[in-house]
Amino acid sequence: MTKQRVLLADDHQLFREGLANILDAQLDFEVIGEAGDGLEVIIKARKLLPDMILMDIGMPGLDGVEATKQIKEELPAVTIVVLTVQADDEKLFTAIKNGAQGYLLKNIRSRELLVMLRAAARGEAAITPALGGRMLEEFRRLSQRPPRISEEEITALTRREQEVLGLVAQGATDQEIAQSLTISIHTVKSHMRNILAKLQLGHRHQAAQFALREGLISKVNK
């Protein structure tokens, strides 16, 4: 059986030694080295060329998230699984973006850890269901976020449409816009339809939000 050659990175030696003993007791894992901080794990990864690195996040000097990024840039084939007490979303998402194959919390039981590590070795994600749920939520949030309006789309609006949109963003009603620009309310509605069509938006509330986000108010007020 081919053993996964594992490098452990954690600043708590007692934890490292215990984890090393758990892994070494398995037929398919072999701990080939240990590191106590982010710089040491980079150096040992270059030297030992492990199959897998179990990476703590909170380490002195260089943290595990940055170490993951640097190691994956140099050694893209190595599988890095984060094993940490920190469950915050930012660390999770950044570690995954930096190339981590998994993100596990230290309160995991050894049996579950071994299942996850074997999955990671097969190229699968090693993420506990709770953290996986957070990743899906983040994915949904990002996919639902409306796209930014390009400069071309903004300039595709006529001068008058930009003025109308600016007033919409300030909370003006169609009647108020008509009075402000000395045009009929039907013309305002016509401009509004054109604005929504050009920006591919559903209703004026979205248009107002986009105008605020894209800074159109300041542009049209110039």
Partner 1 sequence: MEKRPLILILGDSLLMEGIAVSLAGCPQLSLIGIDYSEFDVWQKIDSLNPDAILFELEIPQSPLIFWLLKERPGILLLGLDLSRSRVIVLNSRQHCSKTMHDLCQIVEAETGVIERPSTPYTLEGSAV
Interacting residues toward partner 1 by CB under 8 A: 12-15, 17-22, 25, 106-110, 113
Q: How far apart are CA 57 and CA 75, in angstroms?
A: 19
Closest by CA position to 98, among listed 48, 122, 62:
62
Find the shortest distance in angstroms from Cβ 14 to partner 1.
6
Task: Look at residue 134 and give its three-state secondary structure.
Answer: helix
**13 or 200: whose CB is closer to partner 1?**
13
**131 or 195: whose CB is closer to partner 1?**
131
Find the shortest distance in angstroms from Cβ 24 to partner 1.
9
Find the shortest distance in angstroms from Cβ 132 to partner 1.
19
**17 or 176: whose CB is closer to partner 1?**
17
Which residue type, as a one-letter code, is found at position 19? L
**20 or 195: whose CB is closer to partner 1?**
20
Give Cα 3 distance to the centre of its chain. 32
**113 or 167: whose CB is closer to partner 1?**
113
Q: How far apart are CA 150 and CA 111, in angstroms?
A: 51
Neighbours of 200 (CB within 10 A): 11
The dihedral formed by the CA atoms of 176, 177, 181 and 187, expressed in degrees to the nearest 10:
-120
Residue that has been written with the tokens 């939000």 in this structure: 209
Find the shortest distance in angstroms from Cβ 13 to partner 1.
7
Find the shortest distance in angstroms from Cβ 22 to partner 1.
5
